[in-house]
Amino acid sequence: MEIIGGGIGGLSAAIALARDGHKVTLRERDAALPSTGTALGMWPVALRALDEIGVGDQVRRTGSRQQAGAVLRPDGSRIATIDVARLRKRTGDDVHLISRPALLAILHRAAADAGADLRFGEPVSSLDDTADLLVVADGVFSRTRDRLLGPAYRARYSGNTAWRGTIDGMPTSEFAEIWGRGAKFGVTPHEGGRTNWFAAAAAPEGRFDPGQEVAALHRLFGDWAAPVRPVLDAIEESRILRHDIYVTPPLPSFVHGNAVLIGDAAHAMNPDLGRGACEAIIDAVTLAACLRQATPSQPGPLSYDRSRRPATQRLSRVAAIAARMTRMRHALPLRNVLLKASMLAGPPS
């Protein structure tokens, strides 16, 4: 079996498939795992998938448990409280926050230990039609998806741009997301006593400010109350990650010939639900389970498509609604009522 892409989805697939006894070769064009990156939320459904491939407890130990959370207005007043206890009661677990580099390092070690052949610094120039299965996990701008499905299914700009980063020496145990007019700012725990922050705003595509991103953030969020202002004052220009947000249109199938798409290659979504990395892990574990349970009348890839495509496309639609709410500049009281209602209803499963 061949896997294209050594990110979260590709490495999770390598673990799951190799543990099932498949001979797995993974190719990743980058020479090494990234050494920097911000925190990802591992929701209980993703933690259960990580448990299935033997790394769930390690992720829990390495990351930080989300202990409390709130959605606020820019003046610091509260829109809604995130009921962490209710989530734990409903799902049996907490959300754990872990940095992308730490998660990738755990997955990489587990994939190597499972016997997968991990080839970093080895781009894929052509597709292997002879492989019994080709797992496409090369991300939102997947070149493989382009080859399989054509330009109609390339990722499209969502209308939102994003900034991310971490701050040393500013520990927090709480999650806070602050919603303003056409923009929002978030603060979450990060392992090692650091704080993870992120921001999003409606903006024209590609309108970056190299060397001036701190100034751009201050223009957007400079008059917002704590916890935003203390974080803004501590941000260093060199540690800001800035990127526009792209999403994939709904694919007609996650399976094409001997190829199966997982993760952002299949369903890159707006990050507003914090579920992109989770869904890539679930894709990988589900694919392995479907292959184990395959029958002549129900091939594994077909079962995977029937299981994961409706679920992830439903989440993508909900994330798109949340992103549109971020861009709202009018009717903010109504938006805030909807936000509070969504907090009370709980996260989509």
Amino acid at 139: G
pLDDT band of residue 343 (cuts 50, 70, 90) is low
Would you say residue 341 has pLDDT above 90? no
Q: What is the pLDDT of residue 164?
A: 95
- What proportion of the chain, given as a percentage, has pLDDT over 70? 98
For the segment 306-324, the average pLDDT, to the nearest whole number, is: 94
Q: List pLDDT tens digits, range 204-240.
A: 999 998 999 999 999 999 999 999 999 999 999 999 9
Query: Alpha carbon 23 to chain centroid distance?
Result: 27
Q: List pLDDT tens digits, range 148-198.
A: 999 999 999 999 999 999 999 888 878 899 999 999 999 998 888 889 999
For the segment 297-323, the average pLDDT, to the nearest whole number, is: 94
CA-to-CA dists, residue 51 to 56, 58, 60, 181, 349, angstroms: 4, 9, 10, 40, 18
Return d(Cα 290, Cα 17) in angstroms, integer.
11
More confident: 22 or 322: 22
Would you say residue 348 has pLDDT above 70? no
Q: What is the pLDDT of residue 33?
A: 96
**pTM across the whole model:** 0.94
Return d(Cα 276, Cα 295) in angstroms, integer.
30
Q: Are 181 and 291 in contact (CB under 8 A)?
A: no
